[in-house]
Amino acid sequence: MLEKLTETQLDAIKEVGNIGTGNAATALSMMLDKKVDISVPQVKIVPISKIPFLFDNPEEIVCSIKMKLMEDMTGEIVLIFEPKTVKIIAQVLTGMEINDVTELDEFTSSMLKEIGNIMCGSYVTALAGFTNLFINPEPPELVVDMISAIVSEISLPLALAGEENILLIETLVKIEGIEKELTGYLLLVPSVESLEKLLKALGM
């Protein structure tokens, strides 16, 4: 059903992303005590099965922060960071290098959840404002696992509903003092019923 979205509507969703990430950048700047800029270079509809191939290895261990969505829109929004991004964020947070993202300490895990909470929550708030839908996100959950395993869990309810596509929102995060831009992938995975509400709110 997502494939029904026009380029104009995708541009509108991208603009929602820019509004949300602008708010997220302000909050992250305060949290990290560094200037943070976040941009949304592209928003696209992709089959969920293609997500693992965004990474160097479909079996790569990644960090995901998942938030379930309730009320007018049900489903979930998921933020995925590849290991090298997590290592850079952890170093900014703690001043120490980590070698293995499966061995994050409690403080770093908590901070990653808060970063996910800020980024996902800011996008959901902007989307709710744009569509006039009441969307209530639940507290975030941090999952460190193979990207293929994470995608498999996300895809199950989609498959049961006969849907295969999701909304992929690529985000680029620039942190003061870090030369490389950090890439995060936001996946918006609404239920079929919620998708119908979203399409209606977007004028379809």
CA distances for 95 relative to 47, 106, 169, angstroms = 38, 15, 29
Q: Burial level of 112, CB count in 10 A (0-12/13-18/19+)?
A: buried
Number of domains composing the chain: 1
User: Would you call 161 helix, strand, or coil by DSSP?
Assistant: coil
CA distance 68 to 50: 22
The secondary structure element, H or E, covering residue 141 is: strand 141-146
> Residue 73 has what DSSP assignment?
S
User: Residue 120 is encoded by which pair of tokens?
Assistant: 């996902």
Specify the pLDDT at position 139: 92
Distance separating alpha carbons of residues 193 and 59, to the nearest angstrom: 32
> Against a cut of 0.75, is the pTM above it?
yes
Residue given tokens 């959840």 in the structure block: 113
**Helix (H/G/I), strand (E/B), else coil: 61:** strand
**Which pLDDT does position 52 carry in this prediction?**
86
Residue 21, CB-side half-sphere exposure with 13 Å CA sphere: 24
Residue type, 101: V
CATH code at 13? Answer: 3.40.1550.10
pLDDT by 10s per residue, the chain, length 204 = 566 667 777 777 778 878 888 888 888 888 888 888 888 777 888 888 888 888 878 888 999 999 999 998 888 899 998 888 888 888 887 777 888 888 888 888 888 898 889 889 888 888 888 888 889 999 999 999 999 999 888 887 777 666 778 888 888 888 888 888 888 898 888 877 777 787 777 765
Phi-psi region of 189 (alpha: psi -120 to 50; beta: other; left: phi over 0): beta
Closest to 1 (Cα-Cα) out of 203, 193, 154: 193
pLDDT at 2: 63
The per-residue pLDDT for 142 is: 93
* Helix (H), strand (E) at residue 167: strand 165-175
pLDDT value of residue 68: 92
Instruction: State the residue range of the domain holding 141.
Output: 2-201
Q: Which of 152, 147, 154 is nearest to 62 (CA)?
A: 147
For 132, the 3-state DSSP assignment is coil
Question: For the CA atoms of 166, 182, 84, 55, what is the dihedral angle to 10 degrees?
Answer: 30
